[in-house]
A and B are shown apart, each in its own frame.
Chain A
Amino acid sequence: MALTATLFKLFKGYSFRTTEISSRFCSALQHANNTNSILADKGKTKVEALSPAVEDLSTITPYFSNTFNLAAYINQSKTLKNLVDLNVNISKIEKKPYIVERFLKLDFEKDMKNHIIFLNNYIDMEDMGNFLTKNPMILCEPLEDLQVRVNYLHSKDFEENQIQRIVMNNPFWLMFSTIRIDKRLGFFQETLNLCGKEVRYLATKQPKLITYNIHSIKTNMFVIKEEMGFEENEVKELVLKKPKILMLNQRSLFERFNYIHNTMKISHFTIQQNPEILMCRKFRIKQRHLFLEKLGRAQYDPKKENYIPIKSLVEDSDIEFCKNFAKCSVNDFNMFLKTL
């Protein structure tokens, strides 16, 4: 069922030429020519056309026609089979035809093996499939470049386990040249006023942030600083606590903040202390807050009695939340949700 549907995701037929297959194809052609001439010779001597063939014809295979997906090729290709055994999700790679075109020209023994052995220094074999699914193009990068990029991290005093984390959590890190990575690390150091240790901490905590779209990061910085009104050092602390805040959608981030700060009357300081409430979708905060308000329990000030920690609005399941903080059964909460 799924297969037929994927068939519809047409991508323009790319020619399939792993070295292995194209060589086989060439030899098949040659062979066919030979047999033709032999048959022609035999035709002269009036040998019956249906007589059993004597020579080995197993090298003759049909030509690989254009296809909608790689599943058509996989049983013939040792390389692709090996990748599947490594737990690489081929169906995800094939969604991008321009990648497939380059990817298929690689040979497992020649082009991939050394890369995988190299990457194995930083990534466990179980995660290798996931890594290669996300970024198959790393196999097209020269091995020396990858080594240089890792050496750069060593030169910047990253520890071994930090480098492992960076490479594993951000499959695209090693695609970036050292110059670009250096520029980007510099950008974060400058805009957030970080010291060397903090830059390393930030890069290790959220490696994806460093290679993220700079324009979007700049917009998020603007939203946090100017629209939300956090101070320079508060922004730094927020980002170090939750680096993902710079990778969120600006509009939803601001809407969330708007609700928390202006409707729920939570101060900047509390938000800065508990930045995880900015990571939760607005409707979740909203429904729990409204429920507490209905119960008359929406009291987030730690200095007064019946204090409810702001974190409880985003953490745990609804069952836990109702039991620990709202002090009622989940059914009541569900009934309340049906009145919104």
Chain B
Amino acid sequence: MVKFKTAASAYKTLNGLICVYKPPCVPVKQVLHIVKTNLCRDLNALPDRPLEQRVEIIGSTNEPMKVKVVPNYADDPRVCGPRYIIEDFKCTWASHLGLFTSGVLLIGVNEGTKLAYKIKSGQPTRAYKVHGQLGKATDTYFWNGKTVERATFKHVTREKIDKVVANMQAAHQKTMFEQSGLQMDLQSTYELASKGLIRPADNKLPVLYGIKCVYFDSPNFTLEIQSVNEYDKYLWTLVHDLGVQLKTAAYCTGVQCIRQAKFDVNLALLRKHWTLEHITDNMNTCQEILDENEQLIKPESALLTA
């Protein structure tokens, strides 16, 4: 842990990317607000610079006047307000997580907002754990919706889920090449494709690279999904589709982002750790990861590496 001597030096180091764990049912905007207010609180608690001095020339003008140096009241934090306020911090997210999604969230602070933007435009892959339950379908495909259908699910086994999930994965990989924006009958396309998976050209269309069922205990199951450009509602519909293909009904009970590019859940800061010391620590670790993996910021080819 770094111990800061003055608030100014601490503020100067606060430029970069941090990785926090977003709890479910807390909007990203509120996460940013909490981070900012916590930073302000901790910075204002650190030792402040000395008060400014003020030169006063007093006395009547037709006699020799006195020059005095007095403390400047206007510089007192009690008068001009706290040294650091929320507006001093710029914060933005590298990829948005929905209200009910929990998990790894990358936040750019101050100069780091540019990094966040670059990571976002670099289309990083994200890994999710999507929890679902069989036997019930809701109108929003999520637990917050109204139940619209109930179905039996006794016939569903681990093997059947695996089969359907593998089918889905194959279908998505097929569309991956179609969405890559490449002409299908070119030599260069062949060479690119022969190396492995590729990113889509569009940044709107979701592409899934891998779906796997990692846990099944009827009626609950968990899928692990690696994807690009996805959003929370898309993952909910995926669970619904899975239910339909398994000849039953299913709805999503939770979405958790476990990895964003190279930043995984072990790195993420919990809500109680969103303090100045932890954040600066985390910022350094994130910077190290970014230095090691330059392709995160400037991807050179459409090839999927991270």
A6 within 8 A of B: yes
When A56-B62, A339-B256 are in contact, do A2 and B72 touch as well, CB less than 8 Å?
no
Interchain CA distance A209-B272 in the complex, whole Å: 30
A38 within 8 A of B: no
A69 within 8 A of B: yes
Interchain CA distance A340-B22 in the complex, whole Å: 10
B88, A1: Cβ atoms closer than 8 Å? yes
Complex partner residue of A87 from B75, B78, B85, CB under 8 angstroms: B78
Complex partner residue of A6 from B23, B78, B81, CB under 8 angstroms: B81
Specify which chain A residues have a CB less than 8 angstroms from the CB of B23 in the assembled complex: 283, 340
Closest A residue to B78 by CB, please name it: A89
Interchain CA distance A88-B73 in the complex, whole Å: 12
Specify which chain B residues have a CB less than 8 angstroms from the CB of A55 in the assembled complex: 61-62
Specify which chain B residues have a CB less than 8 angstroms from the CB of A75 in the assembled complex: 54, 72-74
When A75-B74, A91-B77, A338-B265 are in contact, do A2 and B272 touch as well, CB less than 8 Å?
no
B95 within 8 A of A: no
CB distance from B38 to the nearest CB of A (A): 16
When A334-B270, A338-B270 are in contact, do A74 and B21 touch as well, CB less than 8 Å?
no
Residues 62-114 (chain B) with a chain A CB within 8 angstroms? 62-63, 65, 72-85, 87-88, 102
When A1-B83, A1-B88 are in contact, do A340 and B24 touch as well, CB less than 8 Å?
yes
B60 within 8 A of A: yes
Interchain CA distance A318-B63 in the complex, whole Å: 69
Complex partner residue of A91 from B59, B79, B102, CB under 8 angstroms: B79
B58 within 8 A of A: yes
Interface string of A41-76 (1 = CB under 8 A from B): 000000000000111111000000000011110110
A2, B84: Cβ atoms closer than 8 Å? yes
B268 within 8 A of A: yes
Interchain CA distance A338-B82 in the complex, whole Å: 34
Specify which chain A residues have a CB less than 8 angstroms from the CB of B62 in the assembled complex: 53-57
A57, B61: Cβ atoms closer than 8 Å? yes
When A2-B88, A74-B74, A337-B270 are in contact, do A90 and B79 touch as well, CB less than 8 Å?
yes
Interchain CA distance A232-B54 in the complex, whole Å: 64
Interchain CA distance A215-B211 in the complex, whole Å: 53
CB distance from A283 to the nearest CB of B (A): 7
A295 within 8 A of B: no
A195 within 8 A of B: no
Interface string of B1-41 (1 = CB under 8 A from A): 00000000000000000000101100000000000000000
B73, A2: Cβ atoms closer than 8 Å? no
A338, B21: Cβ atoms closer than 8 Å? yes
Interchain CA distance A55-B61 in the complex, whole Å: 7
Specify which chain B residues have a CB less than 8 angstroms from the CB of A179 in the assembled complex: none
Closest B residue to A335 by CB, please name it: B266
Specify which chain A residues have a CB less than 8 angstroms from the CB of B21 in the assembled complex: 337-338
B58, A58: Cβ atoms closer than 8 Å? yes
Specify which chain A residues have a CB less than 8 angstroms from the CB of B80 in the assembled complex: 2-3, 6, 69, 71, 91
When A56-B60, A58-B61 are in contact, do A84 and B74 touch as well, CB less than 8 Å?
no
CB distance from B81 to the nearest CB of A (A): 4
CB distance from B259 to the nearest CB of A (A): 12
A81 within 8 A of B: yes
CB distance from A85 to the nearest CB of B (A): 9
CB distance from A91 to the nearest CB of B (A): 4
CB distance from B85 to the nearest CB of A (A): 5
Closest A residue to B129 by CB, please name it: A339
Interface string of A90-107 (1 = CB under 8 A from B): 110000000000000000
CB distance from A32 to the nearest CB of B (A): 14
Interchain CA distance A2-B265 in the complex, whole Å: 35
Specify which chain A residues have a CB less than 8 angstroms from the CB of B75 in the assembled complex: 71
A318, B272: Cβ atoms closer than 8 Å? yes
When A58-B61, A337-B270 are in contact, do A81 and B73 touch as well, CB less than 8 Å?
yes
Interchain CA distance A84-B63 in the complex, whole Å: 32
Complex partner residue of A3 from B24, B81, B265, CB under 8 angstroms: B81
CB distance from B48 to the nearest CB of A (A): 11
Specify which chain A residues have a CB less than 8 angstroms from the CB of B82 in the assembled complex: 2, 91
Specify which chain A residues have a CB less than 8 angstroms from the CB of B24 in the assembled complex: 340
Specify which chain B residues have a CB less than 8 angstroms from the CB of A71 in the assembled complex: 73-75, 79-80
Interface string of A195-219 (1 = CB under 8 A from B): 0000000000000000000000000
Residues 257-282 (chain B) with a chain A CB within 8 angstroms? 265-266, 268, 270-272
Closest B residue to A9 by CB, please name it: B81
Closest A residue to B86 by CB, please name it: A5
Specify which chain A residues have a CB less than 8 angstroms from the CB of B87 in the assembled complex: 5
Interchain CA distance A2-B54 in the complex, whole Å: 19
B88, A5: Cβ atoms closer than 8 Å? yes
Specify which chain B residues have a CB less than 8 angstroms from the CB of A84 in the assembled complex: 73, 76, 78-79
Specify which chain B residues have a CB less than 8 angstroms from the CB of A90 in the assembled complex: 78-79
- Can you add 4 more A-B contacts, CB < 8 Å, to A3-B81, A5-B85, A6-B81? A1-B84, A2-B81, A84-B73, A84-B78
A contact set with B: CB distance below 8 Å: 1-3, 5-6, 53-58, 69-72, 74-75, 80-81, 84, 87-91, 283, 318, 334, 337-340
B contact set with A: CB distance below 8 Å: 21, 23-24, 54, 58-63, 65, 72-85, 87-88, 102, 256, 265-266, 268, 270-272
Name the 4 nearest CB pairs between A and B, nearest first.
A91-B81, A56-B60, A71-B74, A71-B80
**A to B CB contacts below 8 Å, 28 in the list:** A1-B83, A2-B84, A5-B87, A5-B88, A53-B62, A56-B62, A56-B63, A57-B62, A58-B65, A69-B81, A72-B74, A75-B73, A80-B73, A84-B76, A84-B79, A87-B78, A88-B78, A90-B79, A91-B79, A91-B80, A91-B82, A283-B23, A337-B21, A338-B21, A338-B265, A338-B268, A338-B270, A340-B24
